Amino acid sequence: MAPGLVVPTYDGQGETSSKYPSNSTSRQYAESLDRADPLRSFREKFIIPSKANLKTTKLAKPGLSQEPSIYFCGNSLGLQPRATAKYLEAHLDTWSSIGVCGHFRDLEGSPLRQWQLLSEQAAADMSRIVGAAPEEVAAMGTLTSNLHHLLASFYTPTDSKHKILLDWKAFPSDHYAIESQVKWHGRNPADSMVLIGPNEGEYKISTEKILSIIDEHASDAALLLLPGIQYYSGQLFDIPRITAHAQSRGLVVGWDLAHVYGNVDVKLHDWNVDFAVWCTYKYGNAGPGAIAGLFVHERHGTVDYSQGEDKPVFRNRLAGWYGGDRSVRFKMDNKFKPIPGAGGFQVSNPSAVDLASLCAALSVFNETSIAAIRAKSLAITGYLEHLLLAGTTEENRQFTIITPSDPSARGAQLSLLLKPGLLDRVSQRLEDAGIICDKRQPDVVRAAPAPLYNTFTEVWEFVNEFKTALQG
C-alpha cells in the first residue's frame, strides 16, 4: 500500500491493532488517507447517486452538480460504471446496423466481441477475479439457476451418502435450491440437510467446528455447499482449508461466492474447488439481476474422445445447445459434443444486453487487480472498525461488530448488531443524511465501503452520523 494507508493486523486472540496516529479520528486525517489512496481515481469511473435524487419519486438523470450520497450498499447492489452506457450503446448500434450478423462479426471501434463470443469475453475477464483459467469460468444465467444446474451435475446422492452440509443461515435462495434438489431426488430434507451454525450466543462459525461436522458426517454426506462470505455476519470462511478437508473425507465441495466476487482475492483453481457460483451485481457492479458466473474445475470439464469422435465421454449435466462446441454447433445433428470446461455447462444463448452490461463493469476491473482492490479493502474496512470503536467501551457501546475482528476473515462489510429497538431510528437517521446502508433483521446494519468508489472521508462521515443516531 502507498505510504499513509494503514492495514490492521490481528493477534490471533480476538484483537486487532493498527498504528494509527493520535489525530486518526479527525476528518483531516481521513482526507489524508484519500490522498494516499492508489485507487482514488477509480471513483470517477462510477456514477454516485446524489442526495437529492435519492429522495425523488420521478425518473431523474444523475445529479452531476449535486452533493453525492454516501453509498455503503455495494454488498447488495453495486453502483453503475460510467462505461455501462457506452457498452450498451455499442450493443444496440450493432443490433440496429447489422442485425443477425452481430453474432459472427467483430466491429472495429466496438468494445464488444461478436455476440457468439461475448460470453467468452466475459468469462475470461471474470477468471482473473476468481483465480481460475478462462476455460473454467462461464457467464450464464443467474446465481440460483446456476446453482441448480451445478447441483444437478454434482449432487448424486446414494442410499449411503446423501446429505448436503450447508450454512445455518444460508441466503434463502441457496436454502431453497438445496431443499428442492433433495426433494427432487425423493429424499426428506430433514434427513439430508445438515445445517452448520455457530456456538450458542456467537455469530462466527469457527473453521474447527466446520471441520468437525464434516468429520461427523463424512460417511453419509455427499456434498458441502457454503457461502464464501456469510451475508449476515460478513464472515469470510477459510475456503482452501475447508475445501481440502472436505474432499479428503470424500465430499464434493461447492461455494456460493455472491459476496466474494469482486471483493476478496480467491484462487479457485489452485484451491481445487469443485464448483462455485456467483452473482455480478454486488461488488461486481454489473447491474440489478445481471448475468451471473460459475466455475467448474478443469478436471470436471474434460471431454474424452478416446472411444471415438461420436462417443464423447464427459461429466453428466443439464445440457443445452449453447454448451455445444462451436465447431459442430450449427450441424444441428442432435449429437451433443460439449465445449471442454465450464463453457460446456452453458444451456441457452445468453442475453447480449446482460453481457454488455457485465463487460462494461469488467472493463473497470481490467484496469486494476483484485489484489489491489483487496489491499484497499483491508485498509478502509480497518479504518471503519477503528472509528467505530474509538472513544467507546464494551460497557457503553450500543452496538456490537459481529463480523470477525481478523481482517483475513472478512471482506469489505462490517455487520453492526444494534441493541434492540434502535434499528429503525438509526436507519432513518442515516437515510435522512443521504447515507445508504443495508439493514437486516434482527437489528443489524451492514456497512460496506466498496474499495473502487468509496473513500476514507465517507467512512469518517458515516461513523459520525451513526454515533449521533445512536444517541437519539
pLDDT in tens, 219-264: 999 999 999 999 999 999 999 999 999 999 999 999 999 999 999 9
- Count the neighbouring beta carbons within 10 Å of the beta carbon of residue 329: 14
Q: Which residue has the higher pLDDT, 91 or 440?
A: 91
Distance (Å) of CA 381 to CA 3, 5, 205, 375, 454: 17, 11, 21, 10, 11
pLDDT tens for residues 350-366?
999 999 999 999 999 99
Q: If pLDDT is split at 50, 70 and 90, which confidence band does 63 have?
A: low
Q: Which of 406, 363, 422, 384 lies closest to 42 in space, CA to CA? A: 363
Q: What is the pLDDT of residue 192?
A: 98
- Count the neighbouring beta carbons within 10 Å of the beta carbon of residue 67: 10
- What mean pLDDT is predicted for residues 177-191? 97
pTM summary value? 0.95
Give the rounded distance of the alpha carbon of 71 from its chain centre: 17
Residue positions forming the annotated binding site: 143-144, 171-174, 256, 259, 281, 321, 349
Q: What is the pLDDT of residue 277?
A: 98
Res. 189: pLDDT tops 60: yes
Q: What is the pLDDT of residue 61?
A: 81
CB-based burial, 291-308: b 16+ in 10 Å, e otherwise: bbbbbbbeebbeeeeeee
**Please, are residues 82 and 449 in contact by the beta-carbon 8 Å criterion?**
no
pLDDT tens for residues 312-337?
999 999 999 999 998 888 888 899 99
Res. 158: pLDDT tops 50: yes
C-alpha R_g of the chain: 23
Ramachandran area for residue 374 (φ above 0: left; ψ -120 to 50: alpha; else beta): alpha
Most distant CA pair in the chain: distance in Å? Answer: 75
Q: What is the pLDDT of residue 263?
A: 98
CB-based burial, 395-408: b 16+ in 10 Å, e otherwise: eeeebebbbbbbbe
Q: If pLDDT is split at 50, 70 and 90, which confidence band does 2 have?
A: very low
Res. 16: pLDDT tops 80: no
How far apart, in whole angstroms, are the C-alpha atoms of residue 236 and residue 447?
15
pLDDT tens for residues 403-413?
999 999 999 99
Residue positions forming the annotated binding site for pyridoxal 5'-phosphate: 143-144, 171-174, 256, 259, 281, 321, 349
Please state, for a pLDDT cut of 70, what percent of the chain lies above it: 96
Domains of the chain: 27-68+370-470 (3.90.1150.10), 117-363 (3.40.640.10)
Q: If pLDDT is split at 50, 70 and 90, which confidence band does 15 have?
A: low
Q: What is the pLDDT of residue 440?
A: 86
Res. 3: pLDDT tops 80: no
pLDDT tens for residues 363-376?
999 999 999 999 99
Range of lowest pLDDT (49-53, 56-60, 95-99):
56-60
Res. 303: pLDDT tops 50: yes
- Count the neighbouring beta carbons within 10 Å of the beta carbon of residue 191: 11
Res. 311: pLDDT tops 90: yes
- Sequence-ordered list of residues with C-beta below 8 angstroms from that of 161, at least 6 positions apart, any chain: 219, 220, 221, 222, 250
